[in-house]
Amino acid sequence: MTTIAPPGTGGRTGRAGPRAGGHHRTGHRGTRSAPGSGLLFVLPFLLVFALFMVWPLAQGLWMSLTDSSLALRDTAFVGFANYAEAFGDPDVWSSLGNTVFFTVVSSVPLVLIALVMALLVHTGLAGQWAWRLAFFAPYLLPVTVVTLIWTWLYQPDIGLANQLLGTFGLGPVGWLSDEAVAMWSIAALTVWWTAGFNFLLYLAALQSLPSAYDEAAALDGAGAWRRLWSITLPQLRRTTALVAMLQVLASLKVFDQIYILTKGGPNGSTRPVLEYVYDVGFTGYRLGYASAVSYLFFALVIVVSLVQLRLFRRED
């Protein structure tokens, strides 16, 4: 999914640890309830979390060590054979590469364009609500609608994209059929579709910035560019960290629009690792092997998240 998890889910689970830890260090000053009474309140969540997250995670890890099949009942323990196979499977590496490539070419514009859109709206353009609606509207569309629209835009023969090129005397482009172009086409669609969410995050941040600095700088004779560069953007650093983090995680999870648009083609050039997991596990019945590939991907996501945390922490 390139739709983003509800704001805060990523951040909140990420931060629950340290915050809870801090709470323990300061003790329960001022609370008269017995320690641990809060457990009752979080128990329903914990139960659901354990049942639908922790248990399947453990189950998947176990499955990845077996030759579990969707079509057979008996399974055998195979140790690390699935992992060994995955390491030697060129399709795993090419699909992981595709996922990483997509993450890079989609995340960068999704952050930058969202920031530019937010700044433009924030400068007080006329027709605020119209701009906001226009920028955010695509995000409200379901993936099937978005892909349907863009399938027709990218149509090789009668699609708007090639028609436009034609009016400028340029030859048609195989938007979804040229191996060198297809992933860029999907990234473009994704930017159009989801930039609105990051735009909203940025806009909210901009509107909550104190205006004092900006006014003081203006009095001191700083021009608009200078104020943007030295006052506004530095204050947005934390938002940028959040947006970038959420975006990278969302982009790594890309599956649905690619699956609908190209099924991973042409020649596997747009097949993300999640689609490979789906193909191997659900179409090819090899649940054990698919789980192993999932866990390799999981490891990659953890590494990326840790690196990002490091980077942004240093910035703060």
Partner 1 sequence: MTPPPPVTETTVPPPPAPGLSRRRLLGHGMAAAGALLTAGPLSGCASPASASDASALSVWDLFQGGDGMLMDDMIRTVSSGTDGFEVDRTILDWGPSYYTKLAMSAAGGRASDVAVAHLSRLPGYAPGGLLDPFDLGLLAEFGVTPEDFTPAVWARTRHAGAVYAVPLDVHPFIVFYDKEAADKAGLLDSSGELTATGSPEALLEAGKALAAATGASGILFGHVTDTAQSWRQFAALYAQTGAAFTLPDGGPAEIDIDAAVRVVTFMQRLFDGTTNPRNLDYNGAMAGFLGGRGGMVMLGEWELPTLRKSGIPLGAAPFPQVFDRPAVYTDCHGFVLPHQHDPDPARRREAHRYVAAMVKQSLTWAKAGHIPAYRPVLATPEYAALDPQSSYADAAEVAVLDPPNWFAGAGSDFQNRMCQPLQSALLGNTSAEKAVRQMVREADALLRRPNPVA
Residues that bind partner 1 (CB under 8 A): 67, 69-73, 91, 148, 151, 155-158, 172, 174, 176-179, 261-268, 279, 282-286
Task: Report, in Å, the least distance between residue 85 CB and partner 1.
Answer: 9
Residue 21 or 171: which CB sits closer to partner 1? 171
Residue 139 or 259: which CB sits closer to partner 1? 259
Neighbours of 2 (CB within 10 A): 27
Residue 70 or 306: which CB sits closer to partner 1? 70
Task: Report, in Å, the least distance between residue 252 CB and partner 1.
Answer: 23
Task: Report, in Å, the least distance between residue 262 CB and partner 1.
Answer: 5
Task: Report, in Å, the least distance between residue 283 CB and partner 1.
Answer: 5
Task: Report, in Å, the least distance between residue 23 CB and partner 1.
Answer: 39
Residue 179 or 215: which CB sits closer to partner 1? 179
Q: Please give the angle made by the CA atoms of 136, 139 and 144, to the nearest 5 degrees.
A: 150
Q: How far apart are CA 184 and CA 162, in angstroms?
A: 15
Q: How far apart are CA 151 and CA 281, in angstroms?
A: 27
Q: How far apart are CA 27 and CA 35, in angstroms?
A: 9
Residue 245 or 280: which CB sits closer to partner 1? 280
What residues does 167 pair with on adjacent strands?
none
Residue 85 or 214: which CB sits closer to partner 1? 85
Task: Report, in Å, the least distance between residue 32 CB and partner 1.
Answer: 46
Q: How far apart are CA 130 and CA 136, in angstroms?
A: 10
User: For residue 59, which of 300, 295, 302 has the smallest C-alpha distance?
Assistant: 295
Task: Report, in Å, the least distance between residue 266 CB and partner 1.
Answer: 6
**SS (HEC) of 102-162:** HHHHHHHHHHHHHHHHHHHHHCCCCCHHHHHHHHHHHHHCCHHHHHHHHHHHCCCCCCHHH
Whether 293 contacts 86, CB under 8 Å? yes
Residue 151 or 308: which CB sits closer to partner 1? 151
CB burial readout 19-44, b (16+ within 10 A) else e: eeeeeeeeeeeeeeeeeeeeeeeeee
